[in-house]
Amino acid sequence: MGSRRSAPLVPCTPQPRRRPHIPMGPTTIPHDQPHARAALCGLRLDRPGALQLCARTPSMRRPLSLIAAVLVSLASYTVTPRELGAEVLAEPSTGLRMASLEVLHRPFAHQQATRWCWAATVANAFRSSGHTVSQERIVREVYGEVVNMRSGPNSNVTALLDRAWVDDDGASFRARLIGLFDASAGRYDLDSRAVVAALRSGRPLVLGTTSHAMLLIGAAYRETEGRLSIVEATVFDPWPGVGVRTLRADEMTPLAHHGSLAFIADVVVSD
């Protein structure tokens, strides 16, 4: 792709397992620069490039670390649809809350080829609703054969997420795209409140950076004066040996603010 804004979801590079570095302390933002708040004023997707990361105070670190430790300590990764949407008050003094999927029993799949993070993530999104579709089938739907290739343009992924399917067990289902943040297509009809609502309803979201695709399964957030800001996000990273981890700051910062976030899709799966 010619420009950074239109970069595809992958080449599936390994993602280091380190927590994001987030600047501390107050920052003054000029009133005439509403988009100058990258990494400071909360996860927002309601305007182009307006996905941002809220600065955390030292008092927030411990509960978030405990939440991440619980998630990472689980031996296997999957979701049970009737037990989704868990929400806990992570930090009473600041009103910080956590909306996440319960990760239980059967494993989410790691990618089966070096450039298949997108196929693994789409397969895991379907798996969370009880439908198994192999990564090979997903790749074949895009390329007509099984090849170790990137996703190509984001439109290839959105097409997979908005169509009828028959799973590997012969059961029919329908995937319907109901919200999308896609920098390459200029679509920003998914905001932070919709992201939290999806997680509370038991729907993981497909998330893509300029180099990798992952399944968004949790978000720590706070709501102040009617504004909801996501301050930390948890994903299932399909790269072998990674699994559940916290997004880095650049992965939560959109391309318009010199980050790497390119794509988030909210998908409803129905039989």
State in Å, rounded, how far the first CA of the chain is from the last one. Answer: 36
Q: What span, in angstroms and rounded, lies between the C-alpha atoms of 128 and 89?
A: 24
168 assigned to some structural domain: yes
How far apart are alpha carbons 271 and 264 in whole angstroms? Answer: 23
In this structure, is residue 14 part of a structural domain?
A: no
Tokens linked to 64:
């978030």
User: Residue 59: inside a domain, yes or no?
Assistant: yes
In a domain, 10, yes or no: no
| Three-state DSSP class for residue 126 | helix
Domain count, the chain: 1
Joined together, the tokens standing for residue 122 give 């789409």
CATH at 98: 3.90.70.10
Within a domain: residue 174?
A: yes
pLDDT digits (tens, 9 = 90+) for 125-135: 999 999 999 99
Amino acid at 100: S
Contacts with 31 (C-beta within 8 Å, 6 or more apart), sequence order: none
CB 136 within 8 A of CB 87: no
Alpha helix (H) residue ranges in the chain: 58-73, 117-127, 135-143, 154-160, 192-200
Residue 17 domain-assigned (yes or no): no
Smallest Cα–Cα separation from 254: which of 203, 187, 163?
Answer: 187
The residue range of the domain holding 52 is 41-270
Instruction: Report strand pairing: 227-237 vs 243-246.
Output: antiparallel
Residue pLDDT, tens place only, 245-254 = 999 999 998 9
Return d(Cα 107, Cα 230) in angstroms, integer. 26
**Neighbour tally for 225: CB within 10 Å:** 4
Q: Per-residue b/e over 54-68, b at no fewer than 16 CB within 10 Å?
A: bbbeeebeebbeebb
**Is the residue at 180 inside a domain?**
yes
Q: In whole angstroms, give the CA distance from residue 183 to residue 248.
A: 19
Is residue 238 situated within a structural domain? yes
Contact 249, 184 (CB under 8 A): no
Q: What is the pLDDT along the chain (271 residues), one digit of tens a residue?
A: 434 444 555 557 655 554 433 332 232 323 333 333 332 223 444 444 444 444 344 444 444 444 444 343 333 333 333 333 444 545 555 678 888 876 554 479 999 999 999 999 999 999 999 999 999 999 999 999 999 999 999 999 999 999 999 999 999 999 999 999 998 998 998 989 999 999 999 999 999 999 999 999 999 999 888 889 899 999 999 999 999 999 999 999 899 889 999 999 999 999 9
The helix/strand count (H/E) of the chain reads as 5, 10
Type and span of the H or E element at 43 = none
